[in-house]
Structure 1
Amino acid sequence: MTAAQADLPTDLQAKYLKMPEGLRLDSPAVADGAAIWRIARDSKVLDLNSSYSYLLWCRDFAATSVVARGADGEPAGFITGYIRPERPDTLVVWQVAVDHGQRGRGLAGALLDGLTSKVAAERGLARVETTITPGNTASERLFTSYARRHGAQVEREVLFDAGLFPDGGHEPEVLYRIGPIGPLDF
C-alpha cells in the first residue's frame, strides 16, 4: 500500500480492493511514467503524448490519476485526470488505457470507479467530463455504464470540431458531461 492509499479512509481502501483478481489500485509515481506511456502507445487508440508529458502527469496530477498494478508492481492500466480550474467539483478524465493482456476483465470500469471514489473522498465531486471521438465504442460504453451505475445523466456536445486540429485527420472530440454524481457507494 502506498502513502496515498494509507491516507484514505479504511472503507475506501476496502473498495479499492474490488479490482480484478491480482490487481490493485494505486496512485501513479514518476517511475510509472514510462510504463504508462507504453500502455498508451500500445493502445493504438489514444493520442500519444510525449514520454515527458507522462512523467509530468505522474508528478503533478497523481492525486487525480490512478494506476492498476499487477503482482509485480508494474502498471497494467491507468487513468489520467485533472480538476477543471474553473469548476473545482469536476474531474476531467484525460486518458484511460488498459494493457492488452488485462482487457476484458472490467479493469477500466474498476479504475474509473476507484478514481472517482478517491477524488470524491479527498475534495468532493459532482461531475465527470471526458471527450470521446465518434466510433470509440469502448469509451462510449465505459462512460455511459459509469453514468448508469451512479444514476447520473450524460450530456454530449462537440467540444472540438475536427477543423480545429492543426495536424489534420483528427476526428471531432465529443464532450461527455456526466452528473450530478450521487454518493459513490461501490
Structure 2
Amino acid sequence: MTAAPTDLPAEFLEMPEGLRIDRPEVADGAALWRIAKDSETLDLNSSYSYLLWCRDFAGTSVVARDTADPEGLPVGFVTGYVRPERPDTLLVWQVAVDASHRGRGLAAALLDGLTARVARERTISGVETTITPGNIASERLFTSYAARHGASVEREVLFGSGHFPHSPDGPHDPEVLYRIGPLSL
C-alpha cells in the first residue's frame, strides 16, 4: 500500500520527496537486515528474523522506497506489532534509515504512516517502544511523535541490564519503555 499525502490527517508528516511508503515483502528482509546492521545503534537480529518479520508482521510494519530506484529496495523501515495482551497498543520494534537518506524526516514520516495505516484497520490508543539510554535520535523521534499527536509519554525501565545474557561485548544497556498515549488519531 502506498500512502498518498491526501490519505493522512494533517498532523501526520508526509514522506520526503522522491520516497514512498510501502508494505514490506519477504524479498525486503535482507535489505532491512543490512540497514539495521549499518545503523550501528540497533541490536542486530538474525537475517532470518528480518525475513520472518517481513512475512508475519508486514501488516504492522512499513518500508520506504526510493522512487528513482528501479529495484525498489528499502531505504528505511519501521517494524512493529500489536501487543497480544493490549490489542489497542502498537509496539514499535525497530526504526532505521539508510545513512544516505538520514536528516530528511524519513523516520518520523514512516512512524506516522505506519500509525495511520494500523489505525485505519483497528483501534489504536497507544504506541510503545523501548529505547536504550543515550539514544538521543530515538528519544527525539518518539517524544516529537507524542507531541504531534497530543499524547503524553511515560517512561520506565522495562528490562534492566541484568535481564540480558552475559556477552563478550559487555553488559547490555537497559531498555526503557516509552508508553505514548492516549493518541488522537
Task: Answer yes or no: same fold by TM over 0.5.
Answer: yes
Q: Between 69-78 and 129-138, report the one with greater CA deviation.
A: 69-78
Q: TM-score, length-normalised on structure 2?
A: 0.91
For 2:30 and 2:164, locate their aligned partners in 1 and report how far apart those are by CA, in whole Å.
26
Helix, strand or coil for the counterpart of 1:151? coil
Distance (Å, rounded) in 2 between the aligned partners of 1:121 and 1:175: 25
Distance 1:18 1:74 in 2: 20
Give the conservation status (yes or no) of the 8 Å contact 1:17–1:24: no
Partner residue of 1:75?
74
The equivalent of 2:41 in structure 1 is: 45
Tell me, which stretches of 5 or more residues in structure 1 are unaligned? none
Residues 16-53 of structure 1: per-residue CA shift (max 9 Å, x gap): 99210110000000000000000000000000000000
Tell me the residue number matched to 2:175.
173
Q: Which residue of 2 aligns with 1:141?
A: 140
Q: Name the % identity.
A: 71
- Give the aligned partner of residue 58 of structure 1: 54
- Structure 1 residue 123: Cα displacement: 1.0
- Between Structure 1 and Structure 2, the one with more helix by share is 1
Q: Which residue of the partner structure matches residue 156 of structure 1?
A: 155
The answer (yes or no) to whether the contact 2:8–2:113 under 8 Å persists in 1 is no
Give, in whole Å, the separation in 1 of the partners of 2:166 and 2:26. Answer: 29
Q: CA deviation at 1:13?
A: 6.8
Which residue does 1:127 correspond to in 2? 126
2:28 aligns with: 32
- Name the aligned partner's letter for residue 63 of structure 1: G
RMSD: 1.9
8 Å CA contact retained: 1:43, 1:98:
yes
The alpha-carbon distance between structure 1 residues 11 and 124, as it changes in their structure 2 partners (threshold 3 A), is farther
CA distances 1:39-69 after superposition (whole Å, capped 9, x unpaired): 0000000000000000000000000000000
Code of the residue aligned with 1:24 in structure 2: it is R
Structure 2: tracts of 5 or more residues without a match: none
Secondary structure (helix, strand or coil) at the match of 1:130 reads strand
Task: Give, in angstroms, the shift of residue 167 of structure 1.
Answer: 2.9
Matched residue of 2:111: which SS? helix
Q: Which amino acid aligns with 2:128?
A: E
For 2:112, give the aligned amino acid. D
Displacement of 1:12: 2.3
**For the residues of structure 2 that align with 1:92 and 1:27, how far apart are their CA atoms?**
17
CA offset at residue 10 of structure 1?
A: 9.4
CA–CA separation in structure 1 for the residues paired with 2:88 and 2:98: 30
Report the TM-score when normalising by structure 1.
Answer: 0.91
Tell me which residue corresponds to 1:12: 7
